Structure 1
Amino acid sequence: MTDDVALTLAEAFDLARSALQRLGMSEQAARALSRATVDAEAAGRPAVGFAHLADYLKALAEGRIDGRAEPLVTAPVPAVMKCDAMGGVAQYGFEIAREELAAKARTFGLSVFAAHNSYTTGELGWYAGRLAEDGLVALAATNAPAMVAAAGGSGPVYGTNPLAFAAPLSDGRILLVDQATSATAFVNIRAAAARGEPIPEGWALDEGGRPTIDPLAALKGALLAFGGARGANIALMVEVLAAGLTGANWSLDAPDFLSGSASPGCGLFVLALAPQVLAENFAGRLTAQAERLSRHGVHVPGLARTEAKRQAESRGIVLPRQLFDSISSFRRNQP
């Protein structure tokens, strides 16, 4: 649309950073969250880019995020890094730890980052992808306030509890899988509600536990796990990694990330592996395998992401005018 706003990546970064700092977020935290936001938008993931930044801004204004929080990062054993986000954002704690986390993985063959007490983690693939860009193989898991019903249940007990996996190819691209354990991501339900469009069958239940294709009813009810009991089992595995091992709130105990004044207290678990310790020429072998799978008609996730980001570096990104205006004018006293 002609009313959309075209921005260079530098302009987009400044838009996000300025909005966050206007609401009192520290410069370093704002820079970390802004980078994650722009990276998601540039990679073609707008639902977890600037659209989700609006959730962060509202949460910051209403007290669900402590914008001045300084993450506490400790190393109880050499290969493990623990992070208390102190009610702030997970991106900041990860940025503080990432370089050392990668160095530990290269030294010990693997390393773990376990964070708790944060707002939502945003695009989960961003964390695994950053480590893949460092030449590592990474697995990431996070939880969120309960919004997904388990098999046989009618009420929400898990977050969408996504898993992300990333690995480097030899040509600078990365393989990246980033998917929720729910039948769809929460942002897709919300987007359908905003458009006034029905959602597919099998995505959600209404408040009474009945299947629904009404996104507004779904927002009051619960999402469904993908694959029934098998998807719910994976959601439980993610819950153990992201909440159990990190000390974060279980999804059932996590406050709403869209209302109230309390942080959801979510968790983030990241495992980094140094492939050269286990397999010689891993990146080259994976590149050849990805090309072979492509010749078989297989979609290899993540490969287009690198190209999308490269194009965004030269072409920039485009934001809807309403979203651009909202972020540009966001103030603490907004309702």
Structure 2
Amino acid sequence: MRLETQEAHDIARRAAVKAGASHEVANALAKAVVSAEWAGSRAVGFAHLFDYLDGFVKGRIAKDAKPEVTFPAPAAIAVDAKCGIAQLGFDLAFAELVQRAKTYGVTVLLQSNSFTVGELGYYTRRLAEAGLVAIATTNATAQMTTLESRKAVYGTNPLSFGAPRAGAKPFVIDQASSATAFVNVRQAAERGDPIPEGWAVDAQGNPTTDAREAVKGLLLAFGGARGANIAMMLEFLVAGMAGSNWSMDAPSFAEGSESPGVGLFVLAIKPDLVVEDFTARLSSQIERLAAQGVRIPGSHLNVTEIDVPEELLKKLEG
């Protein structure tokens, strides 16, 4: 079914409220879900909403959490999500993050004690829309291994970059340090489709292209050891500096009643600290790269409506 933005927001919000979320929590989550759909990140849009709904019902997410925002330094913001959703903590700190970044040139936000952040690009895109360059990362329940370890050691530990550009929507990159996101493996398993070699190992630690076996096993980092090193660095930033659970210690986001207690690291930078025409220079360079055949992230998307499978909507509203 094709939905308008407000209609899609209302559906997501009602589903969250029905699962027990407060109106403040439900609104913050619905906004992020719809934004992911508009960005073409549908695996972490309505499809991922069910993980949140189950989390509300089972107790993995505090339904009426009231995140605590503090300021340990002029250019630093700390958020304790209080076992709630990461999106609400970010919402409550957003205005200060933007103001302080524009005042001091750079500001870092460190959030701990939350459920999975959903679409990481949501955070950098919002800052880019506010005229800032942003870098963000997060960790999650350990679902990734290395071929040397074959044990769950990291989350998928994604990295996102967002920047404003002249005459166009913000430029945003959002990618996992794993070869793919877990939701992609899970969806392939549900469809009975194979997955590419190098995405995952099975429960015995052996490489597999069988998605159903991969769901029982672990994801692999992209690029072998280099990708694993990036995952390690990102985890040190978000879990180390924000004080959230290390991925190895984080309870499951899909089972049980405990919050994963993971974190979010966001660095916001004023782009015109040294040069005044950053947005124009960025737009020009992106055009030059595209002319050389470089694939520009997001350029293939032309989303004009939110298209949600009818069976998914029936399940949400049932």
- For Structure 1 versus Structure 2, the TM-score category normalised by the shorter chain is over 0.9
Compare 10-19 and 277-286 and name the one that shifted more: 277-286
Give 3-state SS (helix, strand or coil) of 1:157's partner. Answer: coil
Please name the residue that 1:322 is paired with. 311
Aligned length in residues: 318
**Is the CA contact 1:249–1:264 (under 8 Å) kept in the aligned structure 2?**
yes
Structure 1 stretches of at least 4 aligned residues deviating more than 2 Å after TM superposition? 302-305
Counterpart residue identity of residue 53, structure 1: L
Please name the residue that 1:167 is paired with. 163
Counterpart residue identity of residue 310, structure 2: R
Please name the residue that 1:283 is paired with. 279
Q: Structure 2: any 5+ residue segments left out of the alignment? A: none
* Alpha-carbon distance in structure 1 between the residues aligned to 2:203 and 2:308: 34
Please name the residue that 1:333 is paired with. none
Please name the residue that 2:126 is paired with. 130
Give 3-state SS (helix, strand or coil) of 1:264's partner. Answer: coil
**Is the CA contact 1:174–1:302 (under 8 Å) kept in the aligned structure 2?**
no
Deviation string, structure 1 residues 256-303 (Cα, Å, up to 9, x no partner): 100000000111000000011122210010011111111111112134
Deviation string, structure 1 residues 312-333 (Cα, Å, up to 9, x no partner): 3xxxx1211221011112xxxx
Please name the residue that 2:189 is paired with. 193
After superposition, residues 141-160 of structure 1 pair within 5 angstroms as 141-160=137-156
Cα distance, 1:24 vs structure 2: 2.0
Give 3-state SS (helix, strand or coil) of 2:236's partner. Answer: helix
Give 3-state SS (helix, strand or coil) of 2:296's partner. Answer: coil
**Is the CA contact 1:26–1:67 (under 8 Å) kept in the aligned structure 2?**
yes
Please name the residue that 1:121 is paired with. 117
Please name the residue that 1:203 is paired with. 199
Cα distance, 1:252 vs structure 2: 0.2
Deviation string, structure 1 residues 44-97 (Cα, Å, up to 9, x no partner): 111000000011001111110001000000001111110000000000010111
After superposition, residues 214-293 of structure 1 pair within 5 angstroms as 214-293=210-289
Counterpart residue identity of residue 226, structure 1: F
Compare 42-51 and 251-260 and name the one that shifted more: 42-51
Deviation string, structure 1 residues 142-186 (Cα, Å, up to 9, x no partner): 000001002411111000000000111011411111000001111
Give 3-state SS (helix, strand or coil) of 2:153's partner. Answer: strand
The RMSD of aligned alpha carbons is: 1.1
**Is the CA contact 1:198–1:214 (under 8 Å) kept in the aligned structure 2?**
yes
Q: Structure 1: any 5+ residue segments left out of the alignment? A: 330-335
* Alpha-carbon distance in structure 2 between the residues aligned to 1:160 and 1:247: 18
Identity, % of aligned positions: 52
Pair 1:182–1:201, CA change in 2 (3 A): same
Taking structure 2 as the reference length, what is the TM-score of the superposition? 0.98
* Alpha-carbon distance in structure 2 between the residues aligned to 1:184 and 1:287: 28
Q: Is 2:32 aligned against 1:36?
A: yes
* Alpha-carbon distance in structure 2 between the residues aligned to 1:327 and 1:263: 23
Cα distance, 1:304 vs structure 2: 5.1
Give 3-state SS (helix, strand or coil) of 1:28's partner. Answer: helix
Cα distance, 1:6 vs structure 2: 2.1
Cα distance, 1:16 vs structure 2: 0.5
Taking structure 1 as the reference length, what is the TM-score of the superposition? 0.93
